[in-house]
Amino acid sequence: MAKILLITHIYPPAVDGGSTVIFKFGQYLQSKGHTIKVLSSNCLSTDDFTNPSSQHTANGLPVITFLHKPLKFLSKHFPSLKPFTKGPIFPPLSLISFIKYHPDIIIAGPLPTTIIIYAYIFKKITSAKLFICPCYHPNDPDFNNSLLQHILKKADFLWCLTDYEKKLLHHPHTIIKGLGVDSNFLIDSAKIKFPKNPHIVFIGSFSSHKRIELLIAAFNILKIKYPQLSLTLLGQKTLFFPHLIIPSSVNLILHPTRSQIKSAIDNSTLLCLPSIHESFGLVFVESLARGKPVIGADTPQTSEVIKLLNGGLTFKTDNLNSLVSTIDRLIQNPKPLGLSGYKYVKNNLTWDRIGEYLCQKIGL
């Protein structure tokens, strides 16, 4: 059995995000008898890295918050410092026990934060193999930082979520595998039902790149044709959240539990994630695991994922008219895509299948 060090920024993860990748693979490895140690922050969200007054969890290490503002200023003149402005900064002495752990394999992600910088330092000190899941966003300039690109090249393995991501990163040892769901999250196909009145659900962080305001605008237009249409937003607050204008007609669930997410999907007609930055879109898989079709923007990665899942439609990125017509089209006939996507997820994208596949690839 191997000694494995998991490094990620929030553990357990938020409602969505790259930490879920590390968390779920870690659970699988632990179930197979491997020894797991986790290096993570005690934060509830990435905003907490800069906010000392936030409420923190008991999990993980405390973070140094006072350095972020000066580092952000310095990064304007020294771009190599940019990753330090987006990830947790741990007190140096708190890292000693992780070095003494002396892992065989380090599994880290996502970019573009300090996470893989710590992973690379530990690799250099302990000579452990380094396995990175970048969760790469090609249209986010922070991912192209020279320091992060150097560390990616030094990794022993990369876990790419899409073929598009693999082509961008040009790494000789790349594993392509999408994200998944727990087997117990899958609904019995006989229990898949669609509501009488159309209902749209969104699940994700309330960040600017998720384009929630575009979805709300589409909802307001569609209400004219479908007076009984409803919209539920489930997610986690961010620094952008106060800038969102959410009408009283929209249902809002903050920091949802797994049971609330499952219930919201079950009571929906479809899930819509109009985000312009997605490395894969875990919520697409979760929605289809409950038999409900999905809509995403036609960015390269999301287009590839939705085509692979065979359970949804794409619209022209940031185009309100395209989003309205796509939602309208799916409202009128959601069942076929919901069922075909459900079958694909059930047969290919449960975390135990993904974990088994990854272990074979990295020799565990």
pLDDT (average), residues 110-130? 93
pTM (2 d.p.): 0.88
pLDDT band at residue 17 under the 50/70/90 scheme: low
Which helix H or strand E contains 126, and what residues bound it? helix 115-126
List residues bridging with 38 in a β-sheet.
6
Q: Which fold has domain 184-348?
A: Rossmann fold (3.40.50)
pLDDT band at residue 234 under the 50/70/90 scheme: very high
Listed residue (317, 320, 273) closest to 293, CA to CA: 273
How much is the pLDDT for 200? 98
How much is the pLDDT for 79? 80
* Each residue's pLDDT tens digit, 150-161: 999 999 999 999
In this structure, are residues 173 and 158 in contact, taking their beta carbons and an 8 Å threshold? yes
How much is the pLDDT for 55? 73
For the domain spanning 3-180+349-362, the CATH number is 3.40.50.2000
Q: What is the dihedral of CA 1, 180, 62, 156, to 10 degrees?
A: 50
pLDDT band at residue 282 under the 50/70/90 scheme: very high
The ranges of the chain annotated as CATH 3.40.50.2000 are 3-180+349-362, 184-348
Question: Residue 225 to residues 220, 246, 327, 348, 360: CA-CA distances in angstroms?
Answer: 10, 20, 12, 37, 51
Sorted by sequence, the CB contacts under 8 Å of residue 150 that are 6+ apart come out as: none
pLDDT band at residue 136 under the 50/70/90 scheme: confident
The yes-or-no verdict on residue 15 having pLDDT over 70 is no
CA 128 to chain centroid, in Å, comes to 26
What gap in Å lies between CA 174 and CA 343, rounded to an integer?
A: 27
Question: Residue 13 to residues 40, 151, 301: CA-CA distances in angstroms?
Answer: 10, 23, 22
In this structure, are residues 64 and 91 in contact, taking their beta carbons and an 8 Å threshold? yes
Beta strand residue intervals within the chain, DSSP E: 3-10, 35-41, 105-108, 129-132, 157-160, 174-176, 199-205, 230-236, 251-254, 270-273, 294-297, 312-315
How much is the pLDDT for 16? 54
SS3 19: helix
